[in-house]
Chain A
Amino acid sequence: MQWETVIGLEVHVQLATRSKIFSGASTAFGAEPNSQACAVDLGMPGVLPVLNEAAVAMAVQFGLGIHAEIPEVSVFDRKNYFYPDLPKGYQTSQMYHPIVGPGEVEITLDDGSTKAIRVHHAHLEEDAGKSLHEDFHGMTGIDLNRAGTPLLEIVSEPDMRSAKEAAAYLKAIHSIVTYLGISDGNMAEGSMRCDVNVSVRPKGQAEFGTRAEIKNVNSFRFVERAIAFEVERQIELLEDGGEVVQETRLFDPERDETRSMRTKEEANDYRYFPCPDLLPVVLDQAYVDHLRDNLPELPADKRARFQDALGLSAYDAGVLSASREMAEFFERVKDVCGDAKLAANWVQGELSGALNREGLPIQNSPVSADQLGELVARVKDETINGKAAKQVFQALWNGEGESADAIIEAKGLKQVTDTGAIEAMIDQVIADSPAQVAQYRDAEPDKRGKMIGYFVGQVMKASRGTANPQQVNALLKEKLDALC
């Protein structure tokens, strides 16, 4: 039987506010346990939440970024359950009236085509604390630094049909939130994580199969692997005549498998009700319009502009717009050198290669966008040839000089275009290579083209790479043919 996979994602994005969603405590990562939790975060008696306006603005910006409806009124609800790292005994969230309504995210598939994934809604909520099971000799410690950190939970429709689509969707969300600057998107630090709903059904069937929810997957790679495992598990189960049970599962990256956590029967009754300590959030049109007017250009728009206005290929435009840092770097290089295609080639070629080798993100590149732009400008105006340019790049990377010009100067890499100087070098090479000249002369005229490479190499060597290769080629051909 042919099976079809149906996937929906709930993505939790930690918003980049300086303070927590309902208190003034800091949200900085990595502080001493419980040093960034105030009385509100600790759930002390009598304290009350006060909504952080920055979190609201960020949520609305996201909504605008995915062309979603922004309802005028949203309401915070309490989700009640007991857990040691949940200080108040409830999580403040938005169940019935979320801040962001239905919207859409565009993903790009491997074949370059695009697909729209619908977003059901996105809502604001507070994070819980963290239970620490190590170092306490059989007991559990609680760190509430995280408690009250603002999260935006983005709930998709079950529109994805493969693990690749799910990963592409997650990347698209990552790209949107980092473009907007509303999250650092750091998955290793938990700034982004997702719950994956997976089911399978016979191809052509309209109804969904029974789904399993995989909790807290925190990397693009793990999303693909968790789904791949889960799809295979469900298909095997069904083909063996079994049934998928609705349950919550955990992905174990060490063993590359998902494991049952709890079944529907053990599911909690969260007893949601509107939080009486917080007023409904009412957004007036002017506020939303102001945020809309100040949105940065988002990845999809940027990709389109790179193709249409700059003439880049779909592939190049996709790669260069994937992250805000990459796009900004590229645009700066382009502005400095004045040539989008050359800039694209250098950013994706020499620079990306070097960054990948060193495992560096582009924002930590040892070669700045201005330095690279100037280097590309020197290639464009033929001050240096391609070979010398690679040397200059390496020197910049190693910190051997402040600018491309300084390095070109110091290393004497300026391209030689003086015909007289090149002719002199050619004459010298011809004089030093009688055997090769004889071979050239004896060869059939149509084979001579290939043989010229030797002489070009010698001349370039003699010029320490600075001679203009086109000129060298043309003059050599002229002189050698004259000898025939």
Chain B
Amino acid sequence: MHDKTLTELAASLAAGEFSSRELTESLLARIERLDGEINSFITVTPEQALAAADAADAARARGEAGPLTGLPLALKDIFCTTGVKTSAGSKMLDNFVAPYDATVVERLNAAGAVSLGKTNMDEFAMGSSNENSFFGPVKNPWDTAAVPGGSSGGSAAAVAAGLVPATLGTDTGGSIRQPAAFCGITGLKPTYGRVSRYGIIAYASSLDQAGPMARTAEDCAHLLGAIAGHDLRDSTSVARGVPDYTAELDAPLAGLKIGLPTEYFGEGLDPEVESAVREAIRVYESLGATVREVSLPHTHFAIPAYYVIAPAEASSNLARYDGVRFGHRCEAPTDLTDLYLRSRAEGFGEEVKRRILMGTHTLSEGFFDAYYKKAQQVRRLIRQDFLDAFDEVDVLMGPASPTPAFDLGAKKDPVSMYLQDIYTIAINLAGIPGISVPAGFAGGRPVGLQVLGTHFAEARLLNVAHQFQQATDWHLHRPALAEESL
């Protein structure tokens, strides 16, 4: 059962091959057996899962099954869930149980999905390797010496290891696409505003976006359809109809115009990653697409702009974790300042502190114009680069990450870690959607092809990714860890 895609499981459930309870029990048993090795879950919720599975089976028996009824999945521990701990990977929220569901959780529940638990992540979604979690690093199922990527590393690893067929992640600077690439799965970051942020613990509000992570583009299409749409509780969610994302999956690619950004194939790109990506593009040409080079001239400003804007917003978003109302509070504070200082010093990890301090600095009087304002101007230029490119081509393609998954502990210098996101970050600044699709291996570790589209082009991206998956079998490869324990 664990080897099936979400779409296949839906068919099996519909055909009565097994019940949602049987499926859920089987996956819970796999988590129990395998997750000790990869640490992809922070919280497993067997009781809630089985209750939801029973409810789904009952609904199916009544003939009330929807597209996700009885299908198991897991949620990054950044989505608030009623009655279950939501930690955001932080000691600060180790004891936090939200009295509300995130809008996307509400929508998945309404669609009948069964959540098995909450997956591991970099603390407050800050990181590119999942080494910043208070609950320990996640290991890459393809090679437990390697990182799974961050910050949705737990979600990616859980899918790759066959613990769940799909998960939800969030992507602020590449946190869905890069771990999807590192773990050999498919991950979609939708257009900013396509999916509600209500109930998602905020890192950088103007960049955060939730999206599906699964084995196939088809599965991502099903999940996106369930979670997308306007939400009155999130003013930045867009009031725009949700198309049927599965409707165009089979559209032929003949005539598709692909742009290859020069800047995404330059210095620092691992040769094996490059050759895998170029091979993937040849597959597209064989499917009738035409390819041309394009330029995104402001690309090299993306990382500096991101590391001004994201920490600035984070420093403000994380101010509420002060030891006063909820979450971690230090023992026996002597006065208010002591309460603030020790609660925050004890509750936050190093990377979070680093970004809070960066953000506090760049917003300070006298620095605001030089950093924050300038970064927002750069952001507009980066967005314009993409819009100009999409006047010429339908989609852009390139690697999701300059290297395959690196070893745990390999990147000690924060800046070298930040540079890992060089191909993913600009997309968040521009607000456009992007998807990472398995496209080969480098040094035995998965490589992700990244496909980008203009605002609200998710259906096109899913179509482009799905057609690739019809023509190749990279998405069918499984890590030994998942195979061995069949």
By a beta-carbon cutoff of 8 Å, the part of chain A in contact with chain B is: 39, 42-51, 78, 80, 82, 84, 87-90, 142, 269, 271-273, 276-279
Chain B residues contacting A82 (CB-CB under 8 Å) are 319, 322, 340
Compute how far the CA of A178 lies from the CA of B289 in the bound complex, rounded to whole angstroms: 67
Chain B residues contacting A80 (CB-CB under 8 Å) are 315-316, 319, 363
The reply to whether A273 and B312 contact each other, CB–CB distance below 8 Å, is yes
The reply to whether B319 and A88 contact each other, CB–CB distance below 8 Å, is yes
A47 with B340: in contact, given A90-B319, A269-B364 (CB under 8 Å)? no
Least CB distance from A270 to B in Å reads 8
Least CB distance from A479 to B in Å reads 86
Among residues of A, the one whose C-beta sits closest to the C-beta of B365 is A269
Least CB distance from B335 to A in Å reads 11
Identify A45's interface contact among B313, B315, B320, CB under 8 A: B320
Compute how far the CA of A130 lies from the CA of B100 in the bound complex, rounded to whole angstroms: 25
The reply to whether B313 and A276 contact each other, CB–CB distance below 8 Å, is yes
A44 with B98: in contact, given A82-B340, A276-B205 (CB under 8 Å)? yes
Compute how far the CA of A88 lies from the CA of B233 in the bound complex, rounded to whole angstroms: 17
Chain A residues contacting B216 (CB-CB under 8 Å) are none
A276 with B206: in contact, given A45-B93, A84-B336 (CB under 8 Å)? yes
CB contacts under 8 Å to A, within B79-127, are 79-80, 86, 88, 93, 96, 98-100, 102
24 contacts between A and B (CB under 8 A): A42-B325, A44-B98, A45-B80, A45-B88, A45-B326, A46-B79, A46-B80, A46-B98, A46-B102, A46-B199, A48-B198, A50-B233, A80-B316, A82-B319, A84-B322, A89-B316, A89-B319, A271-B363, A271-B364, A272-B368, A273-B312, A273-B368, A273-B372, A279-B235
Q: How many residues of B contact A (CB 8 A)?
A: 43
Identify B96's interface contact among A45, A269, A279, CB under 8 A: A45
Least CB distance from B376 to A in Å reads 9
Given contacts A43-B320, A45-B96, A48-B234, 10 further A-B pairs with CB under 8 A are A44-B100, A45-B202, A45-B326, A46-B197, A46-B198, A88-B320, A89-B320, A269-B365, A271-B364, A276-B206
Least CB distance from A411 to B in Å reads 63
Dominant secondary structure at the A interface: loop
Least CB distance from A84 to B in Å reads 5
B201 within 8 A of A: yes
Identify B360's interface contact among A39, A44, A87, A271, CB under 8 A: A271
Identify B316's interface contact among A45, A90, A278, A279, CB under 8 A: A90
How many residue pairs at the A-B interface have CB separations less than 8 Å?
99
Chain B residues contacting A278 (CB-CB under 8 Å) are 235-236
The reply to whether A51 and B235 contact each other, CB–CB distance below 8 Å, is yes
Least CB distance from B369 to A in Å reads 11
Among residues of A, the one whose C-beta sits closest to the C-beta of B344 is A82
Compute how far the CA of A78 lies from the CA of B317 in the bound complex, rounded to whole angstroms: 10
Among residues of B, the one whose C-beta sits closest to the C-beta of A78 is B316
Compute how far the CA of A50 lies from the CA of B102 in the bound complex, rounded to whole angstroms: 15
The reply to whether B320 and A87 contact each other, CB–CB distance below 8 Å, is yes
Chain A residues contacting B102 (CB-CB under 8 Å) are 46
B324 within 8 A of A: yes
Identify B324's interface contact among A46, A47, A84, CB under 8 A: A84
By a beta-carbon cutoff of 8 Å, the part of chain B in contact with chain A is: 79-80, 86, 88, 93, 96, 98-100, 102, 197-202, 204-206, 232-236, 312-313, 315-316, 318-320, 322, 324-326, 336, 340, 360, 363-365, 368, 372
Among residues of A, the one whose C-beta sits closest to the C-beta of B199 is A46
Compute how far the CA of A88 lies from the CA of B336 in the bound complex, rounded to whole angstroms: 16
Chain A residues contacting B336 (CB-CB under 8 Å) are 84
Least CB distance from A311 to B in Å reads 53
- Most chain A CB within 10 A, of B197, B319, B363, is at B319
Compute how far the CA of A87 lies from the CA of B324 in the bound complex, rounded to whole angstroms: 8
Compute how far the CA of A279 lies from the CA of B205 in the bound complex, rounded to whole angstroms: 12
The reply to whether A45 and B201 contact each other, CB–CB distance below 8 Å, is yes
Least CB distance from B358 to A in Å reads 12
Chain B residues contacting A50 (CB-CB under 8 Å) are 232-235
Compute how far the CA of A269 lies from the CA of B365 in the bound complex, rounded to whole angstroms: 6
Chain B residues contacting A45 (CB-CB under 8 Å) are 80, 86, 88, 93, 96, 98, 201-202, 320, 326
Compute how far the CA of A271 lies from the CA of B336 in the bound complex, rounded to whole angstroms: 21
Among residues of A, the one whose C-beta sits closest to the C-beta of B326 is A44
Among residues of A, the one whose C-beta sits closest to the C-beta of B360 is A271
Least CB distance from B103 to A in Å reads 10
Chain A residues contacting B202 (CB-CB under 8 Å) are 45-46, 277
Least CB distance from A154 to B in Å reads 25
Chain B residues contacting A90 (CB-CB under 8 Å) are 316, 319
Compute how far the CA of A50 lies from the CA of B232 in the bound complex, rounded to whole angstroms: 8
- Most chain B CB within 10 A, of A45, A78, A279, is at A45
CB-based closest 6 A-B pairs: A89-B319, A271-B363, A276-B205, A276-B206, A43-B320, A46-B199
Least CB distance from B210 to A in Å reads 11
Compute how far the CA of A49 lies from the CA of B316 in the bound complex, rounded to whole angstroms: 15
The reply to whether B100 and A39 contact each other, CB–CB distance below 8 Å, is yes
Compute how far the CA of A51 lies from the CA of B326 in the bound complex, rounded to whole angstroms: 25
Chain A residues contacting B313 (CB-CB under 8 Å) are 276
Among residues of B, the one whose C-beta sits closest to the C-beta of A76 is B235
Identify B200's interface contact among A39, A46, A88, CB under 8 A: A46
Compute how far the CA of A279 lies from the CA of B206 in the bound complex, rounded to whole angstroms: 11
Chain B residues contacting A272 (CB-CB under 8 Å) are 363, 368
Among residues of B, the one whose C-beta sits closest to the C-beta of A140 is B336
Least CB distance from A178 to B in Å reads 31
Chain B residues contacting A78 (CB-CB under 8 Å) are 316
Chain A residues contacting B86 (CB-CB under 8 Å) are 45-46
- Most chain B CB within 10 A, of A46, A51, A269, A276, is at A46
The reply to whether B205 and A47 contact each other, CB–CB distance below 8 Å, is no
A273 with B316: in contact, given A43-B325, A142-B324 (CB under 8 Å)? yes
The reply to whether A279 and B236 contact each other, CB–CB distance below 8 Å, is yes
Chain A residues contacting B236 (CB-CB under 8 Å) are 48, 276-279
Chain A residues contacting B340 (CB-CB under 8 Å) are 82
Among residues of A, the one whose C-beta sits closest to the C-beta of B363 is A271
Least CB distance from A112 to B in Å reads 46
Chain A residues contacting B79 (CB-CB under 8 Å) are 46
Compute how far the CA of A78 lies from the CA of B315 in the bound complex, rounded to whole angstroms: 11
Compute how far the CA of A348 lies from the CA of B202 in the bound complex, rounded to whole angstroms: 59
Chain B residues contacting A276 (CB-CB under 8 Å) are 204-206, 236, 313
The reply to whether A47 and B198 contact each other, CB–CB distance below 8 Å, is yes
Least CB distance from A262 to B in Å reads 15
Chain A residues contacting B372 (CB-CB under 8 Å) are 273
Least CB distance from A263 to B in Å reads 17
The reply to whether A49 and B235 contact each other, CB–CB distance below 8 Å, is yes
Compute how far the CA of A46 lies from the CA of B204 in the bound complex, rounded to whole angstroms: 11
Compute how far the CA of A44 lies from the CA of B200 in the bound complex, rounded to whole angstroms: 11
Compute how far the CA of A418 lies from the CA of B57 in the bound complex, rounded to whole angstroms: 98
Compute how far the CA of A277 lies from the CA of B324 in the bound complex, rounded to whole angstroms: 23
Compute how far the CA of A273 lies from the CA of B361 in the bound complex, rounded to whole angstroms: 13
A48 with B197: in contact, given A89-B322, A276-B205 (CB under 8 Å)? yes
- Most chain A CB within 10 A, of B201, B202, B324, B372, is at B324
Chain A residues contacting B232 (CB-CB under 8 Å) are 50
Chain B residues contacting A44 (CB-CB under 8 Å) are 98-100, 326
Compute how far the CA of A7 lies from the CA of B10 in the bound complex, rounded to whole angstroms: 72
Chain A residues contacting B205 (CB-CB under 8 Å) are 276-277
Compute how far the CA of A50 lies from the CA of B324 in the bound complex, rounded to whole angstroms: 24
Compute how far the CA of A388 lies from the CA of B205 in the bound complex, rounded to whole angstroms: 73
Least CB distance from B327 to A in Å reads 8
Compute how far the CA of A380 lies from the CA of B198 in the bound complex, rounded to whole angstroms: 67
Chain A residues contacting B88 (CB-CB under 8 Å) are 45
The reply to whether A46 and B325 contact each other, CB–CB distance below 8 Å, is no
Least CB distance from B282 to A in Å reads 41
Chain B residues contacting A87 (CB-CB under 8 Å) are 320, 325
The reply to whether A46 and B201 contact each other, CB–CB distance below 8 Å, is yes
Compute how far the CA of A90 lies from the CA of B201 in the bound complex, rounded to whole angstroms: 16
Chain A residues contacting B315 (CB-CB under 8 Å) are 80, 271
Compute how far the CA of A429 lies from the CA of B315 in the bound complex, rounded to whole angstroms: 94
Compute how far the CA of A477 lies from the CA of B85 in the bound complex, rounded to whole angstroms: 99
